[in-house]
Amino acid sequence: MKKKVVVVGNGMVGYKFCEKLVSKGGNEQFDIIVFGEEPRPAYDRVHLSAYFGEKTIAELTMAPLEWYSENQIQLYLSDPVTNIDRKKKIINTHQGISLNYDYLILATGSAPFVPPIPGVEKDGVFVYRTIEDLDMMKSHAAKSKIGAVIGGGLLGLEAAKALLDLGITDAHVIEFAPRLMPKQIDQAGSDILKSKLNALGIKIHCNKNTQEISGEDSIEKMVFADGETLKVDMLVISAGIKPRDELAKIAGLEVGSRGGILVNNKLQTSDESIFAIGECALHEHMIYGLVAPGYEMADIVASELMGNATKEFTGFDMSTKLKLIGVDVASFGNAFAEEPDCQTIIYENKTKGVYKRINISNDNKYLLGGILVGDAEQYNMLLQTVNNKLPIPADAEDLILGSRGGESGGESGVMSLPDEALICSCEAITKGQICHEVIENGNDTVDALKKSTKACTGCGGCTPMVKDLIQGILKSQGKVVRNVLCEHFDHTRQELLSLVKIKNLKTYDDVLEDLGHGDGCEICKPAVASILASLWNENVLEKGRLTAQDSNDRFLANIQRGGTYSVVPRIPGGEITPEKLIAIGEVAQKYGLYTKITGGQRIDMFGAHVGDLPAIWEELIAAGFESGQAYGKSLRTVKSCVGTTWCRFGVQDAVSFAIEVENRYKGLRSPHKLKSAVSGCIRECAEAQSKDFGIIATEKGWNLYVCGNGGSKPRHAELLATDVSSEMCLKLIDRFLMFYIKTAEPLQRTAPWLDKMEGGLAYLKSVVIDDSLGLNAQFEADMDALVDSYKCEWKEAVETPEIRKRFVHFVNAPEEKDPTVKFEPLREQIKAEDWNAVLK
């Protein structure tokens, strides 16, 4: 007769235990019975915010009901266990079921911690935990304008994203601590994260203690301990979790003084027949609030019951990488180590919103830990470097800055890891296991590995490293590697571009229906949007293209601090007439905008309300200006010196040629932004050798340089051609840009594109100069077609009522401006106030 295993709780960890037990043959040895208090089977809480628009309940569900029956698991929903008789080994449920057990698995998870704030029971106050919570939030958000979240940790920032997804444009995060995510990042990292969130329209208030939630029956205002208040009509509390240990307490199991069911290294409670896993378990004074340690616990208990346990639970690495509202945040190893116990290297770029910190052992041999905000591309290899005690470069800063000629990590980095290196922490999958699956079993795609090992199915953070590992293995076997766009398209970006062109597809939905599957994701939507724009040069806001765009493209403007927008008209070559200067001055004065000369020889205007953008652009267009495309993955500027127009050292007319170049390529959409420059002599005042394509005058014509860039990883451009005429220079640029557009990866700038090109500059020259592929005539024709079809996006937006009406802050009150936008004086102009300053 089979023994009975009863699982109390059907969340992610409870489900994972069942899956692990079944995979080990447990359904043949045990009767498995599961009780869940929610009305539906387990679903993915890690990606819960995707319920607001990206995914359905069915897509979030870990496994359908059929899975339980197919695996002989008896599942009871909406029926929580209410009592445990440990002496008789019997559980009782809310619905009156009484059932004996041989082993009991407590996977009761956690509940939201709700601070005892007066008024917390008012209508409009929510917790962020279940699908039902989200459904209630959806309903209330339809009649709300101002939303706030109490809690600036992981869950709190996810809840803030939920507010944005619900259409709450005036969103606030209230954090008691002096910084965001205090358990993961330091103050400097928090400041960068705060600025990134501010740019997205989320106001951050740290060091705030909520004393009261006031209003009649519904929430109207939050009152803080410092006397300040915040008007709000919707509040989400996400201030942490508390373990669900009430059932254990009733049963007389040992619990911690601050909650949590005490367990040993086998995850046994004080009753050896009862195990606790996930967020309800307290191991060595630690509650683990991430999914990966819960999955590890589930696997250990399943092995223990099957009698083949090979390991115990001795703690878990809490390193983590997340994308919070589109912002990368990661911490790993000993993130907070301080001198003199270590050496700390910090890179900070406030303009780009990037912060990187690594802690190095004092003997310069080992990486101890670190923090990444704004750019966490190197996270996986940095984590592996810590966990496997890998040697670090002589110049340790190369770990975060990269070295000339290539990035640290990638395929070569992951291939150098030992076989026991843990690649997928959620499912405890090692490099050796993945290599075995790829080499021995032929599972050489991410989708195949998901099915065979469950790698990449948890938080998804290991996916880039798994892809690199697959590619490294296949290359070592001499096989061709196809780097498909994402799980929704079985094509590379290059293949997709060609197919979209052949099939004449014009919208994202058309591309997905014809060439993809599923609903799409944050990877393929902007990539396909970029392909469509590069091919057809049609307005990005028309014909169903809006939903696939990045946030800045949706408003044809960069979203700036304080919830305002920037206005950047194109000024080709930096040349501007007095009349146009006056026009810019009059517009800036009329709409109260801050003005600044940029490094790209343009004039930026900051502080515009979204509702004013069409009117501002209407006046600028009337004065002869066009969109400067500062918001797009497209040509930004062609910088120039004055050349022979004024300079006594100039040998060519740099201004005229810069204007010709900019007017030719303006509006050109590409995988990443493009910058250019024209210098009138070798003195290089326009800094052409730091651009994606730069032109330097010679006595005989022009030298053309390509694939340089500034930014966080500056790289000099390389010489492509010398002493060419203006006409030939443009032909070479046409070919170069079209080759780049057709072959680059999504969001890949020209410098890394060339670095990863097999054959490098020599091959690039063979293509665009020697026509080794026989495509130059096609490249030139394609560029001519794009140039001929150019239209100013803002002119179309101003003149098209359907597009113009999108530029409002309140849909139901289009004339009203954002009341939270405030300004303060700055050197005879104004700037947007920091969000902390607008609390009332």
List binding-site positions for [4Fe-4S] cluster.
Answer: 641, 647, 681, 685
| Axis-axis angle for helices 463-476, 431-440 (nearest 10) | 50
Element (H, E) at 706: strand 701-706
| Axis-axis angle for helices 726-743, 760-768 (nearest 10) | 120
List helix spans (H) across 598-711. 613-622, 654-665
Task: Give me the long-range contacts of 256-265 (CB less than 8 A, separation at least 24).
Answer: 256/282, 256/285, 259/287, 260/287, 261/106, 263/313, 265/312, 265/313, 265/314
Binding-site annotation, residues for siroheme? 685
- DSSP 3-state assignment of 568? coil
Element (H, E) at 499: helix 493-503
Number of H helices, E strands in the chain: 28, 37
Q: Residue 355: how many CA atoms within 13 Å on its side-chain side? A: 21
Tokens of 120: 């917390």
SS3 content of the chain, % helix, strand, coil (to 5): 35, 20, 45
Q: Are 372 and 330 in contact (CB under 8 A)?
A: yes
Give DSSP secondary structure letters for 56-120.
-HHHHBSS-HHHHHHTTEEEE-S--EEEEETTTTEEEETTS-EEE-SEEEE---EEE-----TTT
Phi/psi of residue 97, each to 5°?
-75, 135
Residues in the chain: 840
- DSSP 3-state assignment of 548? helix
Q: Are 67 and 180 in contact (CB under 8 A)?
A: no
Nearest to 628 by CA among 683, 581, 572: 572
Evaluate the CA torsion angle 302, 303, 307, 312 in order and state its sign: negative
Query: Which residues 6+ apart lie within 8 Å of 98 measured at CB?
Result: 90, 91, 92
**Alpha carbons 452 and 340: distance in angstroms, whole number:** 46
| 701-706 and 693-698 beta bridge pairing | antiparallel
**Cα separation values, 2 from 19, 711, 713, 733, Å:** 18, 64, 62, 74
Tokens of 46: 């890690």
Q: Using alpha carbons only, what angle is made at residue 54 by residues 174 and 331, rounded to the nearest 5 degrees?
A: 50
- DSSP 3-state assignment of 679? strand
304-326 as b/e: b if 16+ CB within 10 A? bbeeeeeeebeebebbbbbebbe
Q: Residue 598: how many CA atoms within 13 Å on its side-chain side? A: 22
Tokens of 794: 């803002």
- DSSP 3-state assignment of 147? strand
Q: Give the Cβ contact number of residue 423 at 10 Å.
A: 26
- DSSP 3-state assignment of 501? helix
**Alpha carbons 716 and 694: distance in angstroms, whole number:** 10
Binding-site annotation, residues? 641, 647, 681, 685
28-53 as b/e: b if 16+ CB within 10 A? eebbbbbbbbbebbbbbbbebbbbbe
- DSSP 3-state assignment of 832? strand
**Cα separation values, 89 from 5, 83, 182, 236, Å:** 11, 11, 43, 40
